[in-house]
Structure 1
């Protein structure tokens, strides 16, 4: 049972990139359950259709599905136009889409670096830039990005993702200062270990590292996608009306344990 009122986001329009799986799909579902109209964005139409079916079964409401490669500025502009045509001006932009794979730093190629930076950092820029005008014209709304824990400390074996996410943390701080006077809040969430399908395969050694990681979490368990979605609901709601420029760690205390 949700700790939030069912109408928490009633009347709001949200765009969630990477919304076809994992944390993005969970955020989209939580926003649908709490009254928002939601557009989910991903490159693969089949994945979007499957996600929409799952979300409709779960919530009784269907999201708008918009296939889009967020690296492509023209495709992103088309996505933004479609959302506005279907729902009107978005109030909430959730930058969740990401690429990631393990590669030791000494083996890092320029192609590998660009692959991750283009999706994570440039994609976040493209989507936000395409949608921010409506929020600024309205004088309200929020931008939320999903990053990694304590990005400035680095991300061993995933230095391309660490660099990209550190860039998003910096954008979050800069945008919050520029757009705050115009009523737009900008925040980020840094999830701790959440055993989504993608993270299990790409970060947790196919699952072999999960017991070791779990032992290190002070709260004694891995995170669930719903833990991140609840934080997103808070930051995108009026309950966080005076919260901006924050990167919120949602990690069961793991950050303090390794500080």
Structure 2
């Protein structure tokens, strides 16, 4: 196998959650460009339809859009069923859906209500667990499974008042290692920790005043497509001996914190 062939995804089917403008869209398009069938999901059907149409317009592009709430088990099962119906066995799961962030403007620490905690845990943690359970038979059968969950700097360094979000992401790190151990050798399970990113690399209005760019070594916001290389690496044979790991694309924020 040539070096570049290790990054091809021909004939493999990938499910991606949380696909919208940003990391999810760029990764979905990259997987499709590398030969994968992609089943994209989020809560907004309009955004999904636009992304799926752009993928299907590419030479050889194959995409299906399924609007689901990643925090609901029945919705995730519908997503998996749609992938099976259109493309067959599933090879890759890219868990990008996220929820439960609380900002100071929302009322501070105690704005982490029971509902916020439930949403954060269901979307940020349990969706990975549920999709792993729903796809494990496929991955065990073909032996090329890859589960990738998008981590956050907030799962490594506290960013109050987003406590529910941070705790759910910290738990995701341990779930990643636990599933990596339990599902080997037929499925590799890794995390991709993204930092301060936006679709165009510019600081979003909601982030202003938080000093996120200043906290990392590179001293700028990342553009969403800067996470694509790591997402490609973890999906296919280029990382065939990598599991239970976290790849950081956060400008050095976690790795250089002092």
Q: Shorter chain as normaliser: what TM range? A: 0.7 to 0.9
The 5-angstrom pairing of residues 16-27 of structure 1 reads 16-27=16-27
| Consecutive unaligned residues in structure 1, runs of 5 or more | none
- Given that 2:102 and 2:112 are in contact with CA atoms closer than 8 Å, whether structure 1 keeps it comes out as no
Q: Would you identify which runs of 4 or more consecutive aligned residues in structure 1 move more than 6 Å?
A: none
Partners of 1:24 and 1:173 lie apart in 2 by 23
The structure 1 residue matched to 2:191, chosen from 185, 188, 192, is: 188
Q: Which residue of 2 aligns with 1:33?
A: 33
- Given that 2:92 and 2:235 are in contact with CA atoms closer than 8 Å, whether structure 1 keeps it comes out as yes
Q: Which residue of 1 aligns with 2:225?
A: 226
Residue 129 (structure 1) aligned with residue 109 (structure 2): no
1:169 partner SS = helix
RMSD: 2.5
1:254 partner SS = coil
Q: Aligned pair count?
A: 251
Superimposed CA distance per residue, residues 66-99 of structure 1 (whole angstroms, 9 cap, x where no aligned partner): 1222222222222211211211101111111111
2:254 partner SS = helix
The offset of 1:194, in angstroms, is: 0.6
Partners of 1:207 and 1:148 lie apart in 2 by 15
Partners of 1:63 and 1:6 lie apart in 2 by 22
TM-score by length of 1: 0.86
The structure 2 residue matched to 1:108, chosen from 112, 120, 139, is: 112
| Consecutive unaligned residues in structure 2, runs of 5 or more | none
Residue 179 (structure 1) aligned with residue 168 (structure 2): no
The offset of 1:4, in angstroms, is: 5.8
Q: Say if 1:172 and 1:59 are closer, same or farther in 2 by CA, change over 3 A.
A: farther
